[in-house]
Amino acid sequence: MPRYSPFMLFRTQPKALPTAAENAESGFQLMVQYQAFNKQLPLMYCILLCNTWILSCNHLESAPHWLTLYIPLLLSLVCLSRLGFWFKTRHQALTPALVQRRMCQTNLLAAPVTLAFAGWAIMLFNYGDTSTRYHIAGYLALTMLCSLLCLMHIRVAAIIVTVIANLSFVILIFTSEQGQSSVLLITINIVIVLSGMMLMLYFYYRDFVQLIQSHIQAETLSRENFALANLDSLTQLPNRRKFFHDLERHCADNSSQQQRFALGILDLDGFKPVNDLYGHGTGDKLLYAVSRRLENICAEQASVARMGGDEFAIIITANMDEAALMDFCTQIGKTLRSPYAINNHMVHISASIGLAIYPDMAQNAHDLYEFADYALYHGKRNTRCDVTLFSSDHRKLIVRDANIEQALRRAVLEQELSVFFQPIIALSSERTVAFEALARWHSSELGIVSPAVFIPIAEQASLISDITLALLAKALQVARSWPEDIRLAFNLSAHDISTRRVVERIMLMLQQSGVDPQRVEFEITETAGLQDLAQIKWCSEQLRQMGCGITLDDFGTGFSSFRQLHELPLTKIKIDRCFIRDIHSNPLSRKIVQSLMTLSCDMQIQCVLEGVENADELQCIQSMGAELAQGYYFSQPVPEVMSHSLLAKQTDTSISENTIQTSENHLGTVDITFKQQG
């Protein structure tokens, strides 16, 4: 409450200092009450003027002119001045302070104005006959009753008017002559009526205030609900719902002027490992810290919203060309890469950003968001921790991807899909010990489509599980014809192992295939573990119980490798080809690979080196003690028939070696060296 309120005549005890919310609530209450009173003020003064001059005219012949003309004229000037002030200020903008001041003025004017009118009427009481005295009593009653009703929203002024009116009637009672009992009774009746009216107005005022309080509470609740519906509770940024509303508004506002603005979709790289390693509490604090940094750097140039998880959206309203936009977003990424001190930990993350410009690249909010999101997706696949601006090439890729997705949906997978096999070589014996199954798709509509293209599209369109099951059935059928010591390595998508239904179908397919599960190894990409490690762990354990091997593929390229090594029941890891490329000339790559090989040895799991493409790389990894390798140097992926040929050639070479070895033992003069031909 404010320090002074016109609704409190006395204060007996000191109160605590009001809060901002209480001040706002009190101010709103004052505004409502004053507006209700202000609408009735002209009516009150008009009734006063009319009743005063009617009473004056009724006493023109019986009372002196100074009572019937001059005093009413003076009272009229008071009323007209108040009406003029009302007319002048009726459209003035109101503030709680201004309203409080005017209501205090009304309270101060209530007593002298009421006394002036009542005193003038009492002075007329001794002039005229009984009928004119009835008129005076009626004038006082009706005028005071009207004023009381008009002042009902200002309780102090209403009380003042009622008290003065009742005192006036008491004076009339004592000044009444003998034989005028009827005037006396009417006066007493009016006093009772006015007192009852005051009591009724008290209850009305109480209910009116309660209604205002209910309205204030409803408004407060509405604001809270609006905040809940439009603000993210963790970061206090606008949420996804508010973002799309603002984006639609920006597009609508800028459509007529064709003004440019940009939309950026930002995704944090490395947030999931922080959440897993330090807990969700640290992750929440990290998101809050990221939000504050984004707000600071965007300032007046852009608005930021949290889309959910570790994804944010930035509407860049500042007028920038493409180069300036790229620089601005690069600066955002640089700011977010600075370390965060959270719970005694120094946390490091980075960010990838996808950009799209309105109206250059999109004509509506939906397309603008989709294009920025595609730019982000494309950037994370190709240049992680970078800024990607949507371009005409991306638009072509979207059309291509849409065509491929539709072709996949219409495809007869069992007929159009095939499996190629790439051998995994034991370097000590230079023999094939396993084949990795690789997908191939010859579309009836599009022709041959690279797996690097259609697999990500199938994952995004949730079609990958059907492809996985179709390919696994074909791969198991081929593996059944291989020698018992040759294993099958088969890749599982993150979508496959995140659904128990698909895992159960894979297990059933294994049981019905006739292939010993111990000959099958399922490869899980390292980034798949980022989706749901608990589900990945359950899937791996189910497959391990059947006897299958579990391989962590592309090891070293993700963020949570070492935790996965600890959590998952792995039997093998595959070191990504990016570490093998030019390993013979890159000391850093050699150190990394040597460390990973030592780690796998200590954990008693096997290690496969991918991407061996030349003799120098092979010689280098052999000198480091590598046991298993794979790559184009040994063989490119081959169809089913050629896999049998490779195995048959290997068997023939073994027979030939045995024969040569026998001759060597007898003659002691033959020196033979063997090299596996890819």
Q: What is residue 9's predicted lDDT score, i.e. its pLDDT?
A: 33
Q: What integer pLDDT is reported at residue 592 of this predicted model? A: 87
Give residue 579's Cα distance to chain centre: 38
* In the predicted structure, residue 559 carries a pLDDT above the cut 50: no
Rg, C-alpha atoms of the chain: 45
* Lowest model confidence (mean pLDDT) among 135-144, 243-252, 425-434: 135-144
Res. 15 pLDDT band, cuts 50 70 90: very low
**For residue 676, is pLDDT > 50?**
no
The answer, yes or no, to whether residue 437 has pLDDT greater than 70, is yes
- Per-residue pLDDT at 162 exceeds 70: yes
Q: Token pair for residue 474?
A: 């074909």
Whole-number Å distance between alpha carbons of 522 and 537: 13
pLDDT score at 509: 93
pLDDT of 236 over the 60 cut: yes
Provide the pLDDT for residue 359: 86
First to last CA, the chain: 89
What pLDDT sits at residue 175? 65
Q: Which two tokens stand for residue 9?
A: 């005549």
In this prediction, residue 182 has a pLDDT band, given cuts at 50, 70 and 90, of low
- The pLDDT score that the predictor gives to residue 384 is 63
Q: Please give the DSSP secondary-structure letter assigned to residue 19.
A: P
Per-residue pLDDT at 467 exceeds 90: yes
| Average pLDDT of the residues in 183-197 | 69
- pLDDT above 80 for 134: no
Q: Check pLDDT > 70 for residue 556.
A: no
Residue 3, pLDDT score = 38
Neighbours of 88 (CB within 10 A): 9
Is residue 148 a contact partner of residue 164, using CB atoms and an 8 Å limit? no
pLDDT at 563: 59
Average pLDDT over residues 109-116: 86
DSSP 8-state symbol, 638: B
The pLDDT value given to residue 142: 78
Residues forming a β-bridge with 520: 488
**What is the structure's pLDDT at 562?**
60
Write the DSSP string, 600-631.
HHHTT-EEEE----SHHHHHHHHHTT--EE-S
Exposure of 375 in the CB half-sphere (CA atoms within 13 A): 26
The percentage of residues in the chain with a pLDDT greater than 70, rounded to a whole number, is 84
CA dihedral 66, 71, 74, 80 (to 10 degrees): -130
The pLDDT of residue 226 is: 72
pLDDT score for 631: 93
- Looking at every residue in the chain, the average pLDDT score rounds to 81
Residue range 654-663: mean pLDDT, rounded: 36
The pLDDT score that the predictor gives to residue 299 is: 82
- For position 651, what pLDDT does the model report? 61
- Can you tell me the mean pLDDT for 303-320? 91
The residue ranking higher by pLDDT, 610 or 380, is 610
Residue (of 559, 490, 557) closest to 520 by Cα position = 490
Report the C-alpha gap between 303 and 308 in whole angstroms: 16
pLDDT digits (tens, 9 = 90+) for 58-96: 888 888 888 889 899 998 998 898 888 888 887 777 787
Q: What is the pTM of this model?
A: 0.60
pLDDT in tens, 561-573: 565 667 788 899 8
Mean pLDDT of 380-397: 83
Measured CA distances, 555 to 524, 564, 600, 625, 665 (Å): 10, 10, 11, 18, 44
Tell me the sheet residues that pair with 425. 432, 629
Q: What is the mean pLDDT of residues 354-359?
A: 91
Residues linked to residue 342 through DSSP beta bridges, in sequence order: 345
Q: How many residues does the chain have?
A: 678
Q: Which helix (H) or strand (E) holds 387?
A: strand 387-389
Q: Are 609 and 580 in contact (CB under 8 A)?
A: yes
Segment of 15-24, 137-146, 185-194, 638-647 carrying the highest mean pLDDT:
638-647
Mean pLDDT, residues 512-516 taken together: 92
pLDDT value at 408 more than 50: yes
pLDDT class for 528, splitting at 50, 70, 90? low
Position 652 confidence tier, pLDDT thresholds 50, 70, 90: low
Burial 12-28 (b: 16+ CB within 10 A, else e): eeeeeeeeeeeeebbbb
Q: What is the pLDDT of residue 476?
A: 95
Residue whose structure tokens are 């690069």: 330
Give me the helices (H) in 176-301, please.
181-230, 240-255, 271-278, 280-298
In this predicted structure, the answer to whether residue 143 has a pLDDT above a threshold of 60 is yes
**At a CB cut-off of 8 Å and minimum separation 6, what does 337 contact?**
348, 349, 350, 351, 385
pLDDT at 290 over 70: yes
CA torsion 616→622→626→632, rounded to 10°? 40
The stretch 609-624 carries a mean pLDDT of 92
Mean pLDDT of all residues in 143-157: 77
Query: What's residue 659's pLDDT?
Result: 32
| Pair type for strands 549-555 and 520-525 | parallel
Kind of pairing between the strands at 350-358 and 345-347 = unpaired
Q: Which long-range contacts (CB under 8 A, 24 or more apart) does 219-222 make?
A: 219/28
CA 542, distance to chain mean position in Å, is 37
Contact 535, 556 (CB under 8 A): no
